[in-house]
Chains A and B, each alone.
Chain A
């Protein structure tokens, strides 16, 4: 999947959340989407997911619009997008059926096993902790296998083994030629995984480079607005 964003802008009332954003991503790229609070990261992800309409500009996925690529775009919200009163297994079964990718019971069980949830398959999703919900979401998107996977701050709720699980999944996902865009404040983790860093600042793209090592330009750009700065 190839992603092309041209002159994307979104205004909320009298404020630009995002403006003049151009971005071109090749298949298999892993983007670390960075920036301080209020920089427009979440707005950008929502626009890419088609959950909100841009004020101007276009987004193309392999030449198709966001609406045309529906089902090809995944948004992994750490503890959201699950029905509390459906069991873990029912949630998986419902969403895979909704995406037209129904799986057999064995595959569902295997997917739950892979994220360490097989013992809780019959419990309501509402009874899970936030970290467990995030694991369930990982299982869900692994089964749905979207060409563009978006993540909004997934680290906050995960424990150590959960983080390993997530990062392993994301690496495999990119290896299939899919694009991953992850917004996060865990700069070192995100940069460690990524193939490209994109920094938003006050709604504008202030930095966009493929990863290098060492990376002095990144340190300079990021040092501008994060007290800790650097890697």
Chain B
């Protein structure tokens, strides 16, 4: 219980700081929107073709914006050596992991909340009624991204060229999440439900559960020394 209480405290702190610093959210939002325009210029396709590509394009956008957020994830802690101040406290390191994962998840959630409908508008897609299901699938994938992303951001924290290193290390590990989310979204778009992609959905949930557990257990070693 202590773990969750500490995580909640840290998460509130991060949200309050984001509200006042505006480090990440606005940049991520504009970058996500910008990518939609780039995609439009790059793939000058009719709406029916864009519909088939929608899951892949959306997820590319989320992957890049998410990486942008991860690069900033520990910025508040780097200023004034606040990470040291956190490490001095008897805080459970797992709580720090949960808080940072949750924080990045909330940021990406807010970005996706805007970008998905915007995609539908910009590309004139008809299937508005499927957006809630698509959104739920996306959130599962986003959670997986944030979980491994937080661990990766933490181990690259003290590396030279960490902004470049982060996607290099993270993206290969994200392949199950990327494939599963895109396949689930495609199934939703084709059949209106996720029933035909239950295997993928299970894998996505399994990924989230496995790596949240591992993160809580080993974040102590991730952040120390």
Task: Tell me, yes or no, whether A82 is within 8 Å of chain B by CB.
Answer: yes
CB-CB under 8 A for A98 and B91, given A53-B225, A85-B20: yes
8 Å CB contact of A94 from B13, B81, B84, B90: B13
Contact indicator B90/A75 (Cβ below 8 Å): no
Count chain A CB atoms within 10 A of each CB in B84, B86, B224 and give the residue with the most: B84
Q: Mark A42-77, 1 if CB is under 8 A from B, else 0.
A: 000000011111000000000000000011011101
Contact indicator A75/B84 (Cβ below 8 Å): yes
Contact indicator B84/A100 (Cβ below 8 Å): no
Contact indicator B13/A100 (Cβ below 8 Å): no
- Chain B proximity of A5: nearest CB distance (Å): 18
- Chain A proximity of B182: nearest CB distance (Å): 37
How many angstroms from the CA of A79 to the CA of B88 in the assembled complex? 16
Question: How many residue pairs, one in A and one in B, have C-beta atoms under 8 Å apart?
Answer: 70
Count chain B CB atoms within 10 A of each CB in A53, A79, A84 and give the residue with the most: A84
Count chain B CB atoms within 10 A of each CB in A49, A85, A99, A100 and give the residue with the most: A85
Chain A binding site: helix, strand, loop or mixed by DSSP? loop
Task: Tell me, yes or no, whether A83 is within 8 Å of chain B by CB.
Answer: yes
8 Å CB contact of A70 from B20, B85, B88: B88
Kindly report which residue of chain B lies nearest to residue A85, judged by CB atoms.
Answer: B20
Contact indicator A51/B88 (Cβ below 8 Å): yes
Please indicate the chain B residues that have their CB under 8 angstroms from the CB of A79 in the complex.
80
CB-CB under 8 A for A86 and B13, given A53-B224, A98-B6, A98-B89: yes
Contact indicator B9/A51 (Cβ below 8 Å): no
Chain B residues 48 to 101 lying within 8 A of chain A, measured CB to CB, are 76, 79-82, 84-91
Using CB atoms and an 8 Å cutoff, list the residues of chain A in contact with chain B.
49-53, 70-71, 73-75, 77, 79-86, 90, 94-95, 97-100, 124
Using CB atoms and an 8 Å cutoff, list the residues of chain B in contact with chain A.
6, 9-10, 13, 16-17, 20-21, 76, 79-82, 84-91, 224-225
Known: A51-B87, A80-B82, A98-B91. 17 other contacts (CB 8 A): A51-B88, A52-B225, A53-B225, A70-B90, A71-B88, A71-B90, A75-B88, A77-B84, A80-B80, A83-B80, A83-B82, A84-B79, A85-B20, A86-B17, A98-B6, A99-B90, A100-B90
